[in-house]
Amino acid sequence: MKVLHVSTPMSWRGGEQQAAYLARALKEMKVEVSVLTPLHSELSTRLKEDGVTVINFKSRGLLDLSLAKKIAKICNEQKFDVVHTHDSHAHSAAVLSAAVFSNMVPIVVSRRVDFAVSSNLFSKWKYNHASIKKIICVSEMILNITAPSMNDKKKLTVVHSGINTTNYNFSLEGNLLKDELNLSQETILIGNLSALADHKDFPTFLKVAKEVIHANPFVHFIIAGTGDEKSLIDKFIDENNLSSRIHLLGFRKDVTKVMKSLDVFLITSKTEGLGTIVLEAFAAEIPVVATRAGGIPELVSDGVTGLLVEVGDVSGLTRAVQKVLADHELRTKIISNAKSKVQEFSFQATAQKTLNIYQEIIKN
């Protein structure tokens, strides 16, 4: 079997991590995998290092017909069995390759965002085009949100994203962040490792941080990531004189060590496809306090694998953080249950379920 994956972002976020996991796992399953992605994209760089076949293009706009033409040309020359798209631009280009350039290779779409499909004619057309054989939603929530836009709802299916749980099979000597930030060993670290994007709702995160910091002199907060919200975050920190207690780490490649350095993982998203960073916290044995956003409740069961609070509820999130810090028995139970839960979400399991979908499409 030959599968062409298409991913258009230059940056590295959750979707690109999932595309990389899938490409690597399928390669290990003896599937011939190629990934079409922009020249110098982070995904391109990482996959080349792993020996995955990468085909590059120059990144352009949303309706780039040259990308659609390239997909059709590659499929015709290399005889791929499936085209799998990993973002909206890739989805558009793949459908245009079928509609404009007569590419007959069946298309699989991964959908990771928990908002409704746009009501414009182009979006409705591209989701219901005959070339689309399956739309893989990363959570039940996304499937339910997407379903009203689909003429054939049988094309929708759920395959939860997964992580490499073995990445956390190590003991951290000392505490990376406490050493790096020159903090005492008594310091309590609460953090979030996410892109600094609007849907992550960092204003709520920061308001919670302010409340918890005022109540506990030993608590510090960390934010690891880059994005458009950085100036907003900087402004809040400056206006509230919290620069000594809230630390911005920027983009980190040592996610496992950063995660293992935390005492609590706090995610305050307004929307979330699934929230695989929550799975990373589970694997690292860090208790999670989260909002009921998107697919997060499919991972975090309140009081069982973490604590769940309504979106935007600063007081509720503050109480939840303080509760998990104060209640050792609850903390221990949450960590143990979450460690068991994450075993259901390996990237190998995600890849096997995805491969089953490819095989079903080819068979039919």
Assigned superfamily of 2-162+346-363: Glycogen Phosphorylase B; (3.40.50.2000)
CATH class of 165-344: alpha beta
Domain-by-domain residue ranges, the chain?
2-162+346-363, 165-344
For residues 162 and 348, is the Cβ–Cβ distance under 8 A?
Answer: yes
Share of the chain above pLDDT 90, in %: 93
| CA neighbor of 278 nearest in space, from 290, 270, 292 | 290
The contacts of residue 353 (CB under 8 Å, 6+ apart) are 159
Hey, how many other C-beta atoms are within 10 angstroms of the C-beta on 158? 17
CA dist 213 and 317 (Å) reads 13
- Per-residue pLDDT of 82-97, as tens digits, reads 999 999 999 999 999 9
- Per-residue pLDDT of 155-188, as tens digits, reads 999 999 999 999 999 988 889 999 999 999 999 9
C-alpha count within 13 angstroms, C-beta hemisphere, residue 56: 12
Do 2-162+346-363 and 165-344 show the same overall fold? Answer: yes
pTM of the model: 0.87
131 confidence band (pLDDT: 50, 70, 90)? very high
